Chains A and B, each alone.
Chain A
């Protein structure tokens, strides 16, 4: 296909995926509020629409209409740049995530379910996570406020420490799949349904545990949400932000959650493969056949988000020194041991 056609179709895919991701972000907020409410023995939002389903739309409208206050002492260029960096880094890495089976192709080898099929897909995600640190660091520094500065320094230190454990925990999966390409990693888990997923048949449960912890720390969520601890830091690095810029940080946090969930399902839970493998025959209708892998993918990401919110509603938060000690003293050596064990196992085979 020509360059122009490629650009057009890619743009179309990007628009659809971004819209779906942003709607997903809005409804993840609702999921969290209702789930945390139920854990705390109360209803979540129930008034707006049936079961509170229109709440995110109303929240979005509220965010747009709030007054945008910019304090006078801030360093303006970086103050305005920081939420942009945070949100764009959260949205970009969805480009290398395959949602459905690559067997479904359009005319001219056009992949329906993945925007960019690159050979180093996993490194792209790690790289963009590294760049996301700037959003938080610059936000805190440019706000000219000691709570923001402390919160952003703590948060950036936490992010770069747990990035290490995150990357190392994924090496075991890469060793098994022998590629960094996301599509190939998922395809290496598609042989026997549930048993060939990296979590079960691949014996990567230690790596999954490490990835889970590191992901909670990377997205600044409980039990690692000290940088946003309202009782200590008056909202940390986004203290001085109001209305739309605050909404951008908020959206970036939830988009990061979804992104981390997507990576976990692709690497550990088998991506778009069905847990039943070949036991259930595929439906004859070609449209259903194309949509069924995407349904499994969404179901797995949803269960991962459910786990996220469940942990948030249940566990107390770490103190800062406990947090850093945990990341450097326990997770990193454990991840290295996992790599050692996986490579010994593979060499033995």
Chain B
């Protein structure tokens, strides 16, 4: 069952990623990326990371991609145009990427000690601890400082985004 679920959702991931590359209109690419992200959420569930699966759907697919979709709708720039820029990136980069991918795959396939994942396995096999409890015991005790610093980071990002995306006319009006 685990193998079948993995194959189905891995196929969705790959199909979404390839579709991201093949589509010309950014809104179609955005929707394919949403498919990738929700399939990844299912794969996290298969690996026993329930909270991360929910966080992936809420944060990535439900907030970040909504942001992307809004920007595509707001800018309304239309389909990608064929420009006459340099194609050097694609010509050199594509084979290089394939080479690196082949290298990584060889390393992965020759790794010893990787186990396998079955259905219903929990992360640390402590009795009666859900995945959420395991995560939060570490997150709120040992890693409290990074957690709080992350919230400051998000605050900075909000301020930066508002300042950058402001309409330039609004500043002139406020200056009066």
A: residues with CB less than 8 A from B are: 3, 77-78, 118-120, 123-124, 126-131, 133-134, 137-138, 141, 149, 153, 156, 160, 179-180
Contacts and interface: CB of A to CB of B under 8 A. Distances in A.
B93 interface: no
A134 B69 contact: yes
B57 A137 contact: no
Given A118-B50, A127-B57, A160 B130 contact: no
B99 interface: no
Contacts of A131: 38, 57, 61-62
25 contacts: A3-B1, A78-B27, A118-B50, A119-B131, A119-B132, A123-B55, A124-B54, A126-B54, A126-B58, A127-B61, A129-B62, A130-B62, A130-B66, A131-B57, A131-B61, A133-B62, A134-B66, A134-B69, A137-B70, A141-B27, A141-B73, A153-B70, A160-B66, A179-B130, A180-B132
B58 A137 contact: no
A127 B50 CA distance: 13
Contacts of A180: 132
B9 interface: no
Interface residues of B, number: 23
B130 A119 contact: yes
Contact of B63 (A3, A120, A124, A130): A130
B50 A137 contact: no
Nearest to A137: B69
B54 A127 contact: yes
Dominant SS at the A interface? Answer: helix
B12 interface: no
Nearest to B59: A130
A128 B55 CA distance: 11
B51 A160 contact: no
B73 A130 contact: no
Contacts of B28: 77
Q: Which one of A77, A118, A127, A137 has the greatest number of beta carbons of chain B within 10 Å?
A: A127
A127 B27 contact: no
Contacts of A133: 62, 66
Given A119-B130, A120-B51, A156 B70 contact: yes
Nearest to B38: A131
3 smallest beta-carbon distances between A and B, as pairs? A130-B62, A123-B54, A127-B57
A145 to B, nearest CB: 13
A137 B31 CA distance: 12
Interface string B56-95: 0110011100100110010000000000000000000000
Given A137-B66, A156-B70, A160-B66, A130 B57 contact: yes
Contacts of B62: 127, 129-131, 133
Contacts of A156: 66, 70
Nearest to A152: B73
Contacts of B61: 127, 130-131
A262 B147 CA distance: 33
Contacts of B63: 130, 160
Contact of A120 (B1, B50, B69): B50
Interface in B14-50: 27-28, 31, 34, 38, 50
B132 A127 contact: no
A123 B45 CA distance: 13
A158 to B, nearest CB: 13
A276 B119 CA distance: 42
A124 B41 CA distance: 11
Contacts of A126: 54, 58
Interface string B108-125: 000000000000000000
Contacts of B34: 134
